[in-house]
Amino acid sequence: MIFYDFEVFTKDWLVVLINTDNQEEQVIVNNRLELYTYYVQHKNDIWVGYNSNGYDRYILKAILCDFNPKEVNDWIIVKKRKGWEFSREFNKIQLFSFDTQVSRYNSLKKLEAFMGHDIRETTVPFDIDRKLTDEEIEEVIFYCRHDVHETMEVFSRTYDEFQAQLALIKEFNLPLKHISKSQAQLSATILGANKKKLEDADTVFFPETMDIEKYKHVIEFFNENRHSSKQLETTIAGVHHVFAGGGVHGAKKNFMYECSPDELLIMADVDQLYPTIMIEYDLLSRGVSTPEKFKNILNTSLRLKSEGKKKEREPYKRICNITYGAEGDKFNAMYDPRNRLLVCIFGQLFLLDMIEKAENIPSMKLVQSNTDGILVIINKRDFEAFDDLVYEWEQRTRLSMSFDYYRKIFQKDVNNYIVVDSKGEYKSKGAYVKELNSLDNDLPIVNNAVVEYFINKVPVEKTINDATDLIDFQKVISISGKYSYAIYGKKRRHEKVFRLFASKDGKQLMKVKDGRPSKISYTPDVCRIVNTDITKEKTPDWLDRSFYINLAKKRVNDFMGSDTNV
């Protein structure tokens, strides 16, 4: 594998390449012949970069085609055009390109910050209108080399994504060139999809198997609004719900509950809801030429899940989960907006059907409903009745449900909650309480403090005051392209990504647009910027722990309701 990163200026370009077989590095500056020779030697290797499928591979191909890389750079960065649109000549160059960028919302520099690594950036402006000096070239090489090593680090921490891509290629006997495709594009290839011209995006009909009597106004809403962006707010089983073209959400707000010995807290989820609806109700993209292949993939995914074969299941599960989204992607061969809308509507109505039936159980309390499941509290004596109605619903709708059991719930809303089982193990969801990781690591001490408060009744002050690793207190922010630059106090900063810490002394970091500064959300008014490596740093005396304590208390109060004050 070849890890690489290009830097392009008005009159210069350079690339750092690292061969994983022998860990050899090669730096090429303004030398097309040297790059061509390297490419020929490694054209059968897999080339790995960060956002390389959106940028670097087209810079590479531009130089190999003897185009001006600056023109391609501006085509992509300034004109916001796709690299492949620049020239058909690019299609003639073989390149097995894998992109480590899992989320388009995170830059490589932001991931470096989450990991606690050095995120300082070159001071050489990319719009400099002259040849770079030797000193400037060396500085750019230094930071470019750093980014290649960081790309390798991100790759190692997201290796499952690469394995899943290879598994799809291997399982379905595809050529290696497909390593460059997104998984949605791979799914379209595997299913033999051919894009069709469809003009019935706002056509709505309903499944004959649903049985809704009490809440028919929801059906009427979908029938009247069809493909509009409107949403319906209504009360279902005593809980406020929102129905819309993207799914249903409903939850008791600020709900804290611990089951008595006679009660059950059941999370009932539909297994592979959308893929099953696609098969059972003929709503797979009409561009798919082999729907029976998708059915076999779905059945294999469900079988491997029941057998506990997680690794073997992954490529099948991926295709099942990706296909629904691909139906809404106008650039994908499976684009079918009508069927995508209907799959979502059918799913919402089937859940509504389930809730309507469950209301007949005397002890049933609905806690939340979401895209593919419901969370309910029932008395144990009513479990058999609940299980029976679920079985009847499964037989009628041709869907399948599975149950998970919990003992406690702490719920701010449908998007932020913690559930705890009888063994004390918990599951959390939402920005306030989700479990963070090395590539999603923003204000981890605050999340930890909130979870510890609810799960183990630990005061937030104790969690925060006992923490000694500086990285736990980091707030990572990035200045988007909507803003010109950032200022720290009165000093303009050239960086786009910052690692901030609340401080007893310091200044405020602000973003600037049209010459006007504005506050950056969830950042302290007084902070220090530490963009150097902090992976081994301990908390200093200047750290203002009160900022984190107050933020954690606010989030706890948000969970518990406006009348509380921790």
| DSSP assignment string, 90-115 | GGGS--EEEE----TT--HHHHHHHT
Which H or E run contains 239? Answer: strand 239-244
Both tokens assigned to 382: 């009513």
Model pLDDT for residues 239-283, shown as the tens digit of each residue: 999 999 888 999 999 999 999 999 999 999 999 999 999 999 999
- Residues 6+ positions from 229 with CB-CB distance below 8 Å: 244, 245
Write out pLDDT tens, residues 490-520.
899 989 999 999 999 999 999 999 889 999 9
Which residue blocks in 411-504 are alpha helix, DSSP H? 444-456, 460-466
Dist. CA 253–CA 248, nearest whole Å: 16
What token pair was written down for 492? 């303009």
Residue that is written with structure tokens 């499928």 in the block: 53
Backbone angles phi, psi at 275, to 5 degrees: -60, -40
Give the tens place of pLDDT for each residue, 279-338. 999 999 999 988 899 999 999 998 988 898 888 888 888 888 899 989 999 989 999 999
402/271 Cα distance (integer angstroms): 7
Q: Which portions of the chain are predicted below pLDDT 50?
A: none
Tokens standing for 496? 């786009």
Q: Which helix or strand (DSSP H or E) is residue 74 part of?
A: helix 69-77
Q: What phi and psi values does residue 421 have, to the nearest 5 degrees?
A: -90, -175
State how far the Cα of 288 lies from the Cα of 194, in Å rounded to an integer: 6
Specify the CATH number for 2-158; select among 3.40.50, 3.30.519, 3.30.420, 3.30.70: 3.30.420
From CA 233, how far away is CA 214, in angstroms rounded? Answer: 16
Q: Hunting for tokens 């004390």 — which residue is that?
A: 424
End-to-end CA distance of the chain: 53
Name the amino acid, one letter, at 264: L
Please report which helix (H) or strand (E) contains residue 161, including its range.
Answer: helix 159-171
> Does the domain at residues 216-406 carry the CATH identifier 2.60.40?
no
Name, in order, each residue with C-beta under 8 angstroms of 142's C-beta and a sequence gap of 6 or more.
Answer: 122
The answer to whether 364 and 376 have CB atoms below 8 angstroms apart is yes
pTM of the full structure: 0.90
Task: Tell the residue number behind the tokens 């509504």, with chain if given.
Answer: 352
For residue 403, the model assigns a pLDDT of: 96
* Amino acid identity, position 521: S
Q: Which helix (H) or strand (E) holds 248?
A: strand 247-251
pLDDT for 162 equals 92
Angle between helices 291-306 and 310-326 (to 10 degrees): 140
Which residue type occupies 18?
A: I
Return the domain boundaries, the chain: 2-158, 216-406, 444-560
Looking at residue 183, its pLDDT comes to 87
Q: What is residue 225's predicted lDDT score, i.e. its pLDDT?
A: 79
| pLDDT number for residue 476 | 96
Query: In the structure, how many helices (H) and strands (E) does the chain have?
Result: 16, 23
461-501 pLDDT, tens per residue? 999 999 999 999 999 999 988 899 999 988 999 899 999 99
Q: What share of the chain is helix, strand, coil (3-state, %, to 5)?
A: 40, 25, 35
Q: In this predicted structure, what is the pLDDT of residue 470?
A: 98
State the DSSP string of 213-237.
STTHHHHHHHHHHTTSS--EEEEET
Quote the pLDDT of residue 549: 97
CB of 312 closer than 8 Å to CB of 304:
yes
Which of 554, 539, 524 is CA-nearest to residue 460? Answer: 554
Q: Which residues contact 12 (CB under 8 A, 6 or more apart)?
A: 29, 30, 131, 132, 137
pLDDT at 551: 95
**DSSP string covering 369-388, please?**
EETTEEEEEEEGGGHHHHHH
